[in-house]
């Protein structure tokens, strides 16, 4: 009896396991979702999104288009899509000079980056509403079922969301500022809010983190950036509610974040984890790359790419030569994404202006990824279980480098310290010490073990918001409280008042009583 029950249990578990595996294998593309009730119209706004921001959007855009929805995208790219349901509408403004930014010169401090962003956002706010295509889009915006906005640096586009249901995509993952707007104030006791991750185990780290957690949003939202953007917007739309007021009405955020690769934090139902949504299994490589990679034998291959914003061209010659020298002394072969022909180079280096990064990272003979440490590159290397050497420059890269070291996925090397020896020793350390590969593979397995795929979740919740007209029930009541109410400051003020009043009342009573006793004593003594 017991045995047959056990067998039944076992069979059930096996069944569920195979269902899970089936879901994992077929989940990509939203195959498990019920068909939509009708074809929806989406407007996606990412006019200042860099290539990497766009890459976060595209899997969702493609999945929605495959389900028969229409997607119009305001971007800075002019790309024709095979799928007739996707239309990219380039605004044509030059304010975000893609690929022309030299990150080795400007903007590699936090304030430098903010300054550049503020400048570009103000110019965008000033000019974009004069572009005829954008005007037309603005006029027709109420024809759309849902607006989807890039959450970072896009406050200047908020006039579009007035009186419209909208969601955001947090391309950069968890953002404490945005989380607080949704009613989830994250504790600076353990959630870093700085680009250089502070050590929250020590009191000084927590003090620093607490100060930055208050100072950064204040600088951005109330002091430097948004007030300037708001001024420009007021010129075009004098009757609109303030931008930060409009922002509060978001129905949902799809976060490029997942606990398996990031910190584990408490989230609200409106904060949907779709981290590494763009990652997919490796596809077969072109013939020349396969023979190059497999021809490297057991020594393996190093893949080297500095991402899409920092073009290889801007890499100072000093560093370029350092890499070539170091690579020539290694027994590995090197696949290097670089946009320029370098003339005579050592035989073990292959240079291409573009390379299929995910398919390369997924090849078992690729042993190390040398990267600028952008978020998407880090997610891809973790998805494919390949260890990494990060060379961080600006933005979130130093923090990502810190995460790589803390999690044992690889190493982080500063440009100031960079030398031929350091490049060689870092690569050798990763290849000779198995712990990096093991950690990367462990994280990859954790990430892939999910009930449904991130893209399915993204599609489900996006349609959910339309089905339920902005899905007001999803929102936390905390979102409508002011920060003083949320932190119970008003309650504390009342408590304080009561304590102070009680003190004075007690003092007064005490005095009266003492006074009366004293007076009686005096009266008694008087006759003597």
- Residues of this chain that bind ligand NAG (CB under 6 A): 162-163, 165, 249, 251, 414, 416-417, 470
Tokens of 333: 């072969």
Smaller CB separation from ligand NAG, 166 or 336: 166
Q: For the residues of 214-241, what is the DSSP string, one character each? A: HHHHIIIIIISHHHHHHHHHHHH-TTSP
3-state secondary structure of 203: helix
Give the nearer residue to ligand NAG in terms of CB position, either 278 or 475: 475
For the CB of residue 421, give the shortest distance to ligand NAG in the complex, in Å. Answer: 11
Please name the residue ranges forming H helices in 352-419.
Answer: 357-361, 375-383, 397-407
The residue at minimum Cβ distance from ligand NAG is 470
Q: Among residues 277 and 391, whose Cβ is nearest to ligand NAG? A: 391
Encoding tokens for residue 229?
A: 């953007």
| The pair of three-digit structure tokens given for residue 345, joined into one six-digit string | 């180079």
* Contact predicate 302/360, CB 8 Å: no
Q: How far is the CB of 397 from ligand NAG (least distance, A)?
A: 13
Nearer CB in complex with ligand NAG: 141/352: 141
**Residues in CB range of 1: below 8 A, 6 or more apart:** none
Cα angle value 42/132/135 (rounded, 5°) = 50
Inter-residue contact 321 to 388 (CB < 8 Å) = no
CB 464 within 8 A of CB 166: no
208-234: string of b/e by CB count within 10 Å (b at 16+)?
bbbebbeebbebbbeeebbeebbebbe
Contact by Cβ (8 Å): 241, 158:
no
In angstroms, the CA 146 to CA 252 distance is 11
CB of 84 to ligand NAG, least distance (A): 28
> Whole-angstrom Cα distance, residue 47 to residue 138?
13
- Bridge partners for 370 per DSSP: 304, 389
Question: Smaller CB distance to ligand NAG: residue 131 or 147?
Answer: 147
Residue 382 or 471: the one with the smaller Cβ distance to ligand NAG is 471
The smaller minimum CB distance to ligand NAG, of residues 3 and 416, is found at 416
Task: Decide whether 229 or 366 has the Cβ nearer to ligand NAG.
Answer: 229
Rounded to a whole number of angstroms, the minimum distance from the CB of residue 140 to ligand NAG is 17
Question: How many Cβ atoms sit within 10 Å of the Cβ of residue 86?
Answer: 22
φ, ψ at 480 (rounded to 5°): -95, 5
Q: In angstroms, what is the minimal distance from the CB of 480 to ligand NAG?
A: 12
User: Least separation, in Å, of the C-beta of 178 and ligand NAG?
Assistant: 17
Q: Which is nearer to ligand NAG, 402 or 470 (CB)?
A: 470
CA separation (Å) from 437 to 390, 408, 429, 441, 454? 15, 9, 11, 6, 24
Nearer to ligand NAG, 162 or 428 (CB): 162
Smallest distance from ligand NAG to CB 512, Å: 57
* Angle, alpha carbons 503-506-509 (nearest 5°): 150
CB nearer ligand NAG, residue 4 or residue 417: 417
Tell me the chain's radius of gyration from C-alpha atoms.
29
In the complex, least distance from residue 159 CB atom to ligand NAG, rounded to whole angstroms? 10
Q: How far is the CB of 234 from ligand NAG (least distance, A)?
A: 17
Alpha-carbon dihedral sign for residues 335, 338, 341, 343: negative
Provide, rounded to whole angstroms, the least separation between the CB of residue 250 and ligand NAG: 8
Classify residue 501 by burial, with Cβ atoms within 10 Å: 0-12, 13-18, 19+: exposed
Identify which of 444, 273, 436 has the alpha carbon closest to the alpha carbon of residue 358.
Answer: 444
Task: Compute the least distance from the CB of residue 253 to ligand NAG, in Å.
Answer: 13
C-alpha–C-alpha distance, residues 39 and 36, integer Å = 7
In the complex, the smallest distance separating the C-beta of residue 104 from ligand NAG, rounded to whole angstroms, is: 16
- Residue 190 is classified by DSSP as T
Q: Closer to ligand NAG at the Cβ: 245 or 490?
A: 245
């Amino acid at each position: 009896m017991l045995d047959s029950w056990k067998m039944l249990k076992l069979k059930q578990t096996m069944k569920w396991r195979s269902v899970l595996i089936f879901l994992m294998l077929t989940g990509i593309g939203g195959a498990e979702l019920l068909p939509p009730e009708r074809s929806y119209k989406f407007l996606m706004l990412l006019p200042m999104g860099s290539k990497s921001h766009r890459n976060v959007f595209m899997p969702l855009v493609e999945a929605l288009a495959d389900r028969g929805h229409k997607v119009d995208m305001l971007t800075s790219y002019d790309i024709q899509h095979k799928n007739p349901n996707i239309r990219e509408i380039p605004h044509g403004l030059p304010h975000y000079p893609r690929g022309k930014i030299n990150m080795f010169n400007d903007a590699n401090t936090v304030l430098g980056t903010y300054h550049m962003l503020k400048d570009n956002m103000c110019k965008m706010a000033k000019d974009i509403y004069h572009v005829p295509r954008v005007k037309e889009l603005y006029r027709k915006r109420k024809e759309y079922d849902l607006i989807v906005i890039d959450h970072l640096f896009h406050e200047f586009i908020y006039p579009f969301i007035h009186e419209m249901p909208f969601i955001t995509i947090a391309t950069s993952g968890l953002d404490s500022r945005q989380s607080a707007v949704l009613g989830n104030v994250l504790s600076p006791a353990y959630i870093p809010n700085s680009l250089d991750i502070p050590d929250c185990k020590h009191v000084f780290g927590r003090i620093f983190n607490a100060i930055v957690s208050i100072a950064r949003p204040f600088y951005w939202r109330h002091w430097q950036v948004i007030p300037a953007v708001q001024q420009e917007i007021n010129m075009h739309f004098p009757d609109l509610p303030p931008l930060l007021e409009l922002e509060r009405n978001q129905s949902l955020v799809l976060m490029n974040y997942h606990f398996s690769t990031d910190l584990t934090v408490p989230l609200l139902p409106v904060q949907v984890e779709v981290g590494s949504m763009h990652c997919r299994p490796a596809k077969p490589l072109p013939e020349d790359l396969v023979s190059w990679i497999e021809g490297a034998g057991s020594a393996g291959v190093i893949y080297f790419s500095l991402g899409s914003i920092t073009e290889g061209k801007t890499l100072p010659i000093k560093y370029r030569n350092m890499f070539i020298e170091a690579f020539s002394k290694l027994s590995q072969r090197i696949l290097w994404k670089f946009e320029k022909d370098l003339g005579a180079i050592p035989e073990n280096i292959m240079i291409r202006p573009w390379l299929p990064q995910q398919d390369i990272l997924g090849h078992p003979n690729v042993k190390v990824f040398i990267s600028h440490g952008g978020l998407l590159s880090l997610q891809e290397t973790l998805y494919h279980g390949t260890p990494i050497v990060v060379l961080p420059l600006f933005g979130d890269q130093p923090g990502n480098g810190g995460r790589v070291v803390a999690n044992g996925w690889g190493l982080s090397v500063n440009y100031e310290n960079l030398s031929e020896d350091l490049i060689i020793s870092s690569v050798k350390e990763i290849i000779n010490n198995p712990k990096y590969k093991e950690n990367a593979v462990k994280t990859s397995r954790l990430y892939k073990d999910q009930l449904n795929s991130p893209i399915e979740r993204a599609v489900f919740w996006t349609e959910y918001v339309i089905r339920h007209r902005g899905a007001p029930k999803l929102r936390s009541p905390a979102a409508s409280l002011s920060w003083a109410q949320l932190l119970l400051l008003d309650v504390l003020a009342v408590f304080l008042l009561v304590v102070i009043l009680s003190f004075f009342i007690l003092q007064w009573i005490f005095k009266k009583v003492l006074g009366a006793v004293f007076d009686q004593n005096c009266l008694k003594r008087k006759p003597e």
